[in-house]
Structure 1
Amino acid sequence: MLLNKIHVRKQDTVVVVSGKDKGKIGEVLQVLPKNGKVLVKGVNVVTKHEKPSRTNMQGGLVRVEAPIYSSKVMLYCTKCKSATRIAHKVLEDGAKVRVCKKCGETF
């Protein structure tokens, strides 16, 4: 079983750089390293048919987010207001942090 290293983490704000949802900004809800995919809030929304159950008495059509490949998203810098590449920096206290390559803000 090969796990892919994914450059974003849960609760990061990301922007979609390619595909039908290009330009959309959302929060990472879940990271799936086995598949190399991420689940982003409000991105790649699909319609599923659901049978009535105890949790959903009515059933019918339900709109849910589907995973997208992690290579299609980039970290969104709130200071730059754009997608950015990240660098890793070790602080004086030994903590390793992610840093915006454009403005230097830490994530």
Structure 2
Amino acid sequence: MAAARIKKGDRVIVLSGKDKGKTGDVTQAMPKDGKVVVSGVNVVVRHVKPSQGDPQGGLQRSEAPLHVSKVAHVTKDGKPTRVRFETGKDGKKVRVAVKSGEKIDG
């Protein structure tokens, strides 16, 4: 399995689809499925009938997962960038923004 280039808590921008250009934070990462859930992006609406658990019913909004190839990490200046891995001085893998060269993982 490949290392995760996008992780929970990262700020990302959507590159394609109906929400192109929107930014948000990753609330959930699913590396085995290759998907991420981004807050405020790809919101789907479900019509829910009233039931005992939900007596009001109505419209239920939730964020659906996006494929990880449709999002890119956002740098501090708000531009999308790819992510590469470098080996740090202590021998650990560190994520680095390709455009600016800044370290993402501290």
> TM-score normalized by structure 2?
0.84
Alignment of 1:1-107 (within 5 A): 6-51=4-49, 52-54=51-53, 56-78=54-76, 80-107=77-104
Contact 2:5-2:84 at 8 Å conserved across structures: no
Unpaired runs of 5+ residues, structure 2, are: none
How many residue pairs get matched?
103
What is the CA deviation profile of residues 6-49 of structure 1, one whole-angstrom value per residue up to 9, with x for unaligned ones?
A: 52111111100001100000111111233221111011111012
* Displacement of 1:92: 1.1
Letter in 1 for 2:100: C
Question: Relative to 1, partners in 2 of residues 1:66 and 1:17: Cα closer, same or farther, differing over 3 Å?
Answer: same
Question: Relative to 1, partners in 2 of residues 1:89 and 1:73: Cα closer, same or farther, differing over 3 Å?
Answer: same
CA RMSD of aligned residues (A): 1.9
Unpaired runs of 5+ residues, structure 1, are: none
Contact 1:89-1:96 at 8 Å conserved across structures: yes
In structure 1, distance between residues paired with 2:9 and 2:89: 26
In structure 2, distance between residues paired with 1:11 and 1:91: 22
In structure 2, distance between residues paired with 1:40 and 1:89: 26
Identical pairs, percent: 48
Give 3-state SS (helix, strand or coil) of 2:12's partner: strand
> TM-score normalized by structure 1?
0.83
Give 3-state SS (helix, strand or coil) of 1:61's partner: strand
In structure 1, distance between residues paired with 2:13 and 2:56: 34
